[in-house]
Amino acid sequence: MPTTITRRDAIGLLAGAAAAPLLARSAAAQPAWWQTIPAAAALVGDAQPSGQGIAIELPLVSEDGSAVDLAVAVDRPMTQDAFVESIHVFARGNPSPEVAEYYFSPLSGRAAVATRIRLNQSQTVGAVAVLSTGEVIAAARDVTVTISGCLARDDTYAATDIMQTRVRAPERIAPGGAGEVTTLVNHPMETGLRTDAAGTVLPEDIVRRLIATFDRATIFEARFHRSVAANPYLRFFVAPPRSGALVLRWEADGGRVAEERLDLVVS
């Protein structure tokens, strides 16, 4: 008995044949997330970013868009020969998509940060990592932002001691190992997008940078934009080659500066 092709089969086959070029075309037409953000596209340039070795942690659903926990880690060695130079975070659905940049050194030990960011709406949050080899890694995550029924929240800023800092580092770090530093600075991170009761725009007033030096050499730097949540919070790693002084320096608008010094013990 000869094989017959029914009408449905025939349509299926045709559709299958037609689908492949269609899919290829739509993939080409659909830009990658970083291509839709000028600053991210400029960063990537002509590189073909891979999505391997980068992890973005975000809640699937955030119930408070004013402070969403975000962690980014790039799983690559941090040696003098090759290391992760920087990680750049973008939130495409915010009024300005740049969130923060983090600059590492081999003495960072690990290219991993955790912070809290503002998300205006449900959207895609992406990170681009640039390696000293010129390699670029990029990834993105979708996050749903909602304000839950019982969580009615006002956006008044209550903290009193602006530029007050908190720092915690391990009591000792094993030779060759990395230790995590947790830090926070009190600051409203005024976005420049809000108006007061009289309708006057409140000018942008934010913490711009955190610089970490070890024995006076910069080993890590973070640059903040308006999408970093009030009271900037940051966790990052240090891998000091010996015991010594870690100095953290925050720089904010209006010339405001705060400094903290910690003695790190390597043994």
Partner 1 sequence: MTINRRTALGLIGAASGAAILGMPSIARAATGRVVVVGGGFGGATAAKYLKLRSPDLAVTLIEPAARFYTCPFSNLYLGGLIDFEAIGHSYDSLAALGVEVVHAFASDVDTAGRTVTLAGGDSLSYDALVLSPGVDIRWGALEGYDEAAAELAPHAWKAGPQTQLLRSQLEAMPDGGTFVLVAPDNPFRCPPGPYERVSLIANYFKTEKPASKIIILDAKDSFSKQGLFTAGWQALYGDMIEWVSRTDDGRVVRVDAAARSVETEFGRTVTADVLNVVPPQQAGLIAQRAGVTNETGWVPVKPETFESQLVEGVYVVGDATVAAPMPKSGFAACTQGKVVAAAIIAALEGRAPPEAKWANTCYSLVGPDYGISVAGVYAVIDGAIAEVPGSGGVSPADADGAFRAREAQYAHGWYRAISNDIWGTA
- In the complex, the residues that contact partner 1 under the rule CB under 8 A are 59-61, 63-64, 66-67, 69, 144, 146-154, 158-159, 166-168, 182, 184, 186, 230-231, 233
Question: What is the DSSP annotation of the chain?
Answer: ------HHHHHHHHHHHHHHHHHHHHHHHS--GGGGSHHHHHHHTT---B-TTEEEE--SEES-TTSEEEEEEE-----SSS-EEEEEEEETTSSS-EEEEEE--GGG-SEEEEEEE--SSSEEEEEEEEETTS-EEEEEEEEEE---GGG---------STT-EEEE--S-B-TT--EEEEEEE----B-S--B-TTSPBPPPB-EEEEEEEETTEEEEEEEE-TTBPSS-EEEEEE--SSSEEEEEEEEEGGG-EEEEEEEE-B-
Residue among 43 and 185 whose Cβ is closer to partner 1: 185
Q: How far is the CB of 212 from partner 1 (least distance, A)?
A: 17
Q: How far is the CB of 52 from partner 1 (least distance, A)?
A: 20
Residue among 69 and 204 whose Cβ is closer to partner 1: 69
Residue among 43 and 58 whose Cβ is closer to partner 1: 58
Query: 3-class secondary structure for 111-136?
Result: EEEEEEECCCCCEEEEEEEEECCCCE
Q: How far is the CB of 12 from partner 1 (least distance, A)?
A: 24
Q: How far is the CB of 236 from partner 1 (least distance, A)?
A: 15
Distance CA 229, CA 221 (A): 18
Q: How far is the CB of 183 from partner 1 (least distance, A)?
A: 9
Q: How far is the CB of 77 from partner 1 (least distance, A)?
A: 28
Residue among 57 and 75 whose Cβ is closer to partner 1: 57
Residue among 134 and 149 whose Cβ is closer to partner 1: 149
Q: How far is the CB of 3 from partner 1 (least distance, A)?
A: 34
Nearest to 189 by CA among 177, 201, 203: 203
Residue among 137 and 230 whose Cβ is closer to partner 1: 230
Residue among 9 and 142 whose Cβ is closer to partner 1: 142
